[in-house]
Chain A
Amino acid sequence: MSLRDRLKRVRESRSAGDGAVAGTAAYLAGSMVSPPASGTQGFFDGWNVGGPVASRELAFPVDLPETFDLRPFRRKDDRFVPDEVPSDRLIFFDLETSGLSGGAGTVVFLAAFARWNRGILSVRQHFMRDYPAEGEFLSACIGEIGDDSVLVSYNGKSFDEPLLRTRCILNRMRPFRIPHADLLYAARRLWRWSLPDCSLATVERALGRERGPDIPGEFIPEAWFSYLRNGSDPRVGMVMSHNAEDVVSLAAIAASCADAFARPLLRKDIDLGGLGRKLVEYDAEAALPVLRAAFKSGSGAAAWPLYRLLAVSGANGEAAEVLAAMEPSFAALSLRSGRAERGNRDLGEALEFAGAALTFASTEKKRAMAERRIERIREKMLRQTCCNLHFRSHE
């Protein structure tokens, strides 16, 4: 059963009302975390409101492999991210903030951290009840981040993590430093072409997760300000569920991405070309069939990595086929010319491709390269003709 099907079943079982998990009162029917009862402090139901930082715990069933392969998510600057970790060391996190543009005046007022263990995702949320509690709020957040864990987020490398770091600095707390895998980049590879955008909401919908009434992100800061001014705002309850929903989706997207990279050829919803281009960075063997399949189904993006892979592995015949089937470009035509010149010594063909490459040369440098190539081939042709004449004269 594909992961997608499994997620679908999870959803069905939830709507049937038999998905409740022991130990948490707040886990409710449907995939939606409880929309708050309207009313003054209704949204604090289920929260521990003993101090200036309110907290609560929730749990959801989520399927993840026991060991999580992080390589699909690793980028060039992610040196600290290990190849793989036991899935119970992943920390899915998401922050709600008082502004969307960042800067020292933007605070985090709500955070969700989720850990997975044996099919259950335990979500812990912390809510800062007013500004002076920021120090305690941040301590609670940092307390969620163990030394040996790996953070997982959606766009968190550009937004959430730097912001949390800024808040720590401003509160004179030592900022944390642990590996961080951002799912956004992998998600873009998989769904860029098939989905209108790669926002968390769009991707989760494509994976079959449905939310009930939700608050759009741009209204979240105002909900928090209004809560501060008036002591309550019903929208804050929606923000809290929104935040919890986000980390659950995060885990679901992580599972779907991991599945896609583990068994790409079984998936129909993803862009094999994009996936193959990532895969080839760390597993050439696994990437080859993926790129082949992608290329066959018309993915232009797969052509070059496939060609390079074939050329390096010595599969010259297939490499030439790929090259021949490529969109004409300066690079492709130059290579074909080169192959004709050296490989099968068909100088006429080499000249033809070099001439075609010249028409695609968009810069001075490329033009010069093409012209040099043409000249060289012409010289070779001239020499060959001379040789032939020479031989003939001795006949």
Chain B
Amino acid sequence: MNSSSAITFIEKLLAEPDLAPSIVHVERIPAAEGRYADFPAGMDARLERALRSRGIERLYIHQRASWDAARAGRNVVVVTPTASGKTLCYNLPVVQSLLESPTARALYLFPTKALSQDQQSELNEVALGGELPLKICTYDGDTPTSLRVSARDTGRIVITNPDMLHSGILPNHAKWCRFFSDLAYIVVDEMHGYRGVFGSHVANVIRRLKRIAAFYGAKPVFILCSATIANPGELARGLIGEDVVEVRENGAPRAEKLVAFYNPPLVDPVQGIRKSSATESQKIAVRLLRGGIRTILFARSRLRVELIAGYINEELRNLYTDNERIVVEPYRSGLLPSERRAVERGLREGTVHGVVSTNALELGIDIGGLDASVITGFPGSFSSFWQQAGRAGRRSGASVVIYVASANPLDQFLAAHPEYFLGRGAETARIDPDNPYIYADHAKCAAFELPFSEGDSFGGDLEAVLAMLEEDGIVRKTGGRWFWSSGGYPGEKISLRSATADNVVIIDATAGRNAVIGEMDRPSAKELVFDDAVYIHRGRQYIVEKLDLENRVCRVSERDVNYYTDAVVKTDLKLLTEDASGETPSFGWSVGDVLVRTQAGKFKKIRFHTHENVGFGEIYLPPEEMQTRAAVARFGPGTTAGALLDGFDEAFKAAVVASAAGMVRDIAPIFLLCDPRDLGTVSRARDDHFSVPAMYFYDRYPGGTGLAEGLSTRFLDVFAAAADRLAGCNCRTGCPSCIGPDFADGRTIMEGSAVKSAAAAFLAALSGRGT
């Protein structure tokens, strides 16, 4: 479909009488001309041939700018939207250098295994036309032992992830002696993913990487790539600890794009109940697909992905026309890698016309460009919204993004205020490589990898950490050097991510079949594949016969039912120890260990299509428990904040404390240099432990990463900043920039503005400025 006919079709679709009234806003993002630069002089003839064979006769200006910087030996960060020829920004200078110098090597760092796979196939098949004499190897947890040696010894480009670098490669660097000696480039793709605590870990892994490279005499050049964030240069400098050149001007041409805001029609105007966003987005997707528009639909959970994909296929089902020859696939984690690869390939080659996905396809997996992106519910951050939106749009041919609001208050606010949505910039990514907890862990790993000498620099306060390690007998200082002097293997015990690694394998045991059909991490398994759950896998329905957590298997059998299951999950927090505390005139605080317990105790059976509740069931599984650190702010009767709360009834008190806690949680990352997802919060009008109103802020990394301690010393600053933000917000009844839209749980009965002004007074009191 060419550009003008696509736009005509989309405009016609949006004007159809059953859709048009629900479209609250359409934003036109105009087309942009491509801006080009010539191939650089001196480009290897083989490389040029490979490019020309792919139809590339010149470069975009950003590709050329990153070539110029990298080839001049300068670190570079490239900020580019999806589908702007990002991979050539690093592949060209790297491949050129590797062709020039027969020993030079490059390390590519991707956040996930799936991305490295994708990158390897792209490098092999596409970027290099399969002709260039460069050996490219993936080295991760899935690499068989037999291939590991050859990757180390002869791989010219080695593709891995931060976790493997941290626990596999760096601790065994002597085996990589030749590789490190010849290391010329380090490519960090999807850099925006390295933020918050995870980013702070990765920054330290990069410190270790640079230290090892230096030991072997190498000084590699970094090329980093990022999706749009507010501060790419700052993040890049923080991650690699060196200066970088920023390339922000995108030269790729862009066709016109429409962004339509769709708020499902009201079915009960009195109670404000709207049609389900799932059925509405499915309806829109089917119309797009029938019109020949290749469509990606983003849904927020794995369950929704399977449901919506199933509905779409049902809608299209027609024996005689072979579903009108439209192929739609679900895509989510938990599918087998081979199944995922097949869907990706189908999308690239055009044999798959539509895909329903979780945010798994938000990352840079190459699926080519699609014509339309339907986003069901706000994905949580503006960056990921625009990444999902970016999946629609090829270099030519207009595209459309349809955002379908859910009943969630945040979605309803955004649907009512598209100008607010469109005016928001991308989020800022923060890291704190010198966070003492994270830093000490990596200094330990670094000491294992090579002894430190007096005067060595490694960011942070190295001497202090080494003195502590020496006291604990983990390192031994002698002859001006600190030697690792403990039996352990520190990388093993330190995880870069909060998620656990153990997976449950899902086995189809229908009629003696015994086939693995998928896998799932343990916490999700407890919520999705408990006994008697309906598990939907690529449109097929299975009943879970037995979830055996001990042996990490889940046996399912195929069965046609007319309902699906949804677990009711409760999160609970318990204070275990109180290690430090203090009092201020306005509030008291404590820091200690907490147990965060998540339990799926019941499940609902929900009928397909009508979504009515047709029954309940019990789930008999142990809760998922995480021990971590929390900072608590307490509002006892003797404090000014406590006194202020005393005047409210319980429900109003709970709403005020919760609103203020939400504000604090949103503001705290600025002070703690972490990501909002690193912190959890629980607030109580009357705490079980302290018997007064309290807010808990807990670290989402098991064991804690110092965020609770950091927050406890800066409560006053954070409260003051939160009070300022709230006072400066112009909304009347609460909005996503402050205490949230005024519909959140149990608050519908209250006037949003009353909660807002009470929360403002409360925060002002907390920061000591109140009356």
Binding site for B on A (CB under 8 A): 98-105, 107, 130-132, 162, 165-166, 169-170, 221-222, 225, 228-229
Contact = CB atoms under 8 A, between A and B. Distances in A.
A221 B478 contact: no
B194 interface: no
Interface stretch (B60-68, B323-331, B442-450): B442-450
Contacts of B479: 130-132
Interface in B172-188: 172-175, 177
Contact of A169 (B177, B447, B449, B451): B177
Given A130-B478, A229-B473, 11 more contacts: A101-B492, A104-B172, A104-B448, A104-B450, A105-B486, A107-B483, A131-B451, A131-B479, A131-B483, A132-B479, A162-B175
Contacts, number: 66
Nearest to B492: A101
Contacts of A225: 473, 485-487
Interface in B460-474: 473
Given A130-B478, A221-B487, A104 B171 contact: yes
Contact of B489 (A105, A131, A169): A105
Nearest to A77: B149
A170 B488 CA distance: 19
A105 B489 CA distance: 8
Contacts of B449: 104-105
Given A166-B174, A222-B487, A228-B485, A103 B448 contact: yes
B481 interface: yes
23 contacts: A98-B484, A98-B485, A103-B171, A103-B172, A103-B448, A104-B172, A104-B174, A105-B486, A105-B489, A105-B490, A107-B483, A131-B476, A131-B479, A131-B483, A131-B485, A132-B478, A132-B481, A166-B175, A169-B174, A170-B174, A222-B487, A225-B473, A225-B485
A110 B465 CA distance: 29
A356 B644 CA distance: 86
Contacts of A103: 171-172, 448, 489, 491
Contacts of B481: 131-132
A101 B450 CA distance: 16
Contacts of B484: 98, 105, 107
A98 B488 CA distance: 9
Contacts of B174: 104, 165-166, 169-170
A105 B490 CA distance: 9
Nearest to A224: B485
Interface in B479-520: 479, 481, 483-492
A100 B487 CA distance: 7
Contacts of B171: 103-105
Contact of A105 (B175, B177, B447): B447
A100 B486 CA distance: 11
A302 B172 CA distance: 40
Interface residues of B, number: 26
A166 B481 CA distance: 19
Ranked nearest first, the 6 interchain pairs of A and B with the lowest CB-CB distance are: A105-B448, A105-B484, A166-B174, A132-B479, A131-B483, A221-B487
Contact of A170 (B450, B478, B492): B450
Contacts of B485: 98, 131, 225, 228
Contacts of B173: 104
B488 A99 contact: yes
A101 B486 CA distance: 11
A131 to B, nearest CB: 4
B175 A101 contact: no
Contacts of A131: 451, 476, 478-479, 481, 483, 485
A165 B173 CA distance: 12
Given A103-B171, A162-B175, A166-B175, A98 B450 contact: no
Contacts of A99: 486-489
A112 to B, nearest CB: 21
B476 to A, nearest CB: 6
Contacts of A132: 478-479, 481
Contacts of A165: 174
A64 to B, nearest CB: 33
Contacts of B491: 103
Contacts of A98: 484-485, 487
A107 B485 CA distance: 9
A120 to B, nearest CB: 36
Contacts of B473: 225, 229
A19 B676 CA distance: 75
A102 B489 CA distance: 8
Contacts of A107: 483-484
Nearest to B480: A132
Q: Which of B175, B449, B479, B490 has the most CB of A within 10 A?
A: B175
Contacts of B451: 131
A111 B491 CA distance: 27
B373 to A, nearest CB: 40
Nearest to A170: B174
Contacts of A166: 172, 174-175
Contacts of B490: 105
Interface in B429-451: 447-451
A210 B268 CA distance: 88
A101 B478 contact: no
B493 to A, nearest CB: 12
Contacts of B487: 98-100, 221-222, 225
Q: Which of B172, B174, B448, B489 has the most CB of A within 10 A?
A: B174
A295 to B, nearest CB: 32
Nearest to A222: B487
Interface string B160-178: 0000000000011111010
B488 to A, nearest CB: 7
A132 B454 CA distance: 14
Contacts of A229: 473, 476
A340 B487 CA distance: 62
Contacts of B447: 105
Contacts of B450: 104, 170
Nearest to A163: B174
A221 B451 CA distance: 18
B489 A228 contact: no
Nearest to B482: A131
Nearest to A225: B485
Contacts of A101: 488-489, 492
A170 B174 CA distance: 7
Contacts of B488: 99, 101
A175 to B, nearest CB: 9
A228 B476 contact: yes
Nearest to B178: A169
A105 B172 CA distance: 9
B413 to A, nearest CB: 52
A131 B470 CA distance: 14
Nearest to B447: A105
A107 B486 CA distance: 10
A42 B489 CA distance: 32
Contacts of A221: 487
A107 B491 CA distance: 17
A166 B171 CA distance: 11
A102 B487 CA distance: 9
A166 to B, nearest CB: 4
A97 B449 CA distance: 16
Contacts of A228: 476, 485
A166 B176 CA distance: 10
Q: Which of A131, A162, A221 has the most CB of B within 10 A?
A: A131
A228 to B, nearest CB: 6
A367 to B, nearest CB: 15
Contacts of B489: 99, 101-103, 105
Nearest to B173: A104
A228 B475 CA distance: 11
Q: Which of A100, A165, A225 has the most CB of B within 10 A?
A: A225
Nearest to B477: A131
Interface string B674-715: 000000000000000000000000000000000000000000
Nearest to B451: A131
